[in-house]
Amino acid sequence: KQEVTQIPAALSVPEGENLVLNCSFTDSAIYNLQWFRQDPGKGLTSLLLIQSSQREQTSGRLNASLDKSSGRSTLYIAASQPGDSATYLCALYNFNKFYFGSGTKLNVKP
């Protein structure tokens, strides 16, 4: 069974900092990896999707990378803003389902 770990579980940073969220997984036989954002009491919003043949994706201030051989993905957030405060989850697809980590709860202080 695929195990997904996200470190750190929580992170508090001042506004303007660049930061990296980590996602590690145990089974490298994945088809894609997707990063989501979840605001309190809300559903998950898709941020970036990395297909298995890709190594990274970028959208605005976000950049996600995927290294299947080492079982790791990182989400890089540039110039963080208070509006980035949320829980960030990674999910990997294999065997008919997406496996999720527990998320990193990010607080960006003004």
Partner 1 sequence: GAGVSQTPSNKVTEKGKYVELRCDPISGHTALYWYRQSLGQGPEFLIYFQGTGAADDSGLPNDRFFAVRPEGSVSTLKIQRTERGDSAVYLCASSLGGGPGELFFGEGSRLTVL
53 vs 74: CA distance, rounded Å: 16
Q: Given the rule CB under 8 A, which of 11-19, 35-43, 57-65, 74-82 is the region that contacts partner 1?
A: 35-43
Q: Given the rule CB under 8 A, which of 12-20, 49-57, 63-71, 75-83 is the region that contacts partner 1?
A: 49-57
**Closest distance to partner 1 from the beta carbon of 15 (Å):** 25
Q: Which CB, 86 or 99, lies closer to partner 1?
A: 99
Pairing mode, if any, of strands 86-94 and 104-109? antiparallel
Look up residue 38 and give its amino acid: Q
Bond into 8 cis (ω within 30): yes
Tell me which of 12, 46, 70, 81 binds partner 1, using CB under 8 A: 46
Q: Tokens 């605001």, residue?
A: 39
Residue 50 exposure: Cα atoms within 13 Å on the Cβ side = 26
**Closest distance to partner 1 from the beta carbon of 100 (Å):** 3
- For position 98 contacting partner 1 by CB under 8 A, the verdict is yes
**Closest distance to partner 1 from the beta carbon of 85 (Å):** 16
Bond into 14 cis (ω within 30): no
Q: Given the rule CB under 8 A, which of 11-19, 46-54, 61-69, 74-82 is the region that contacts partner 1?
A: 46-54
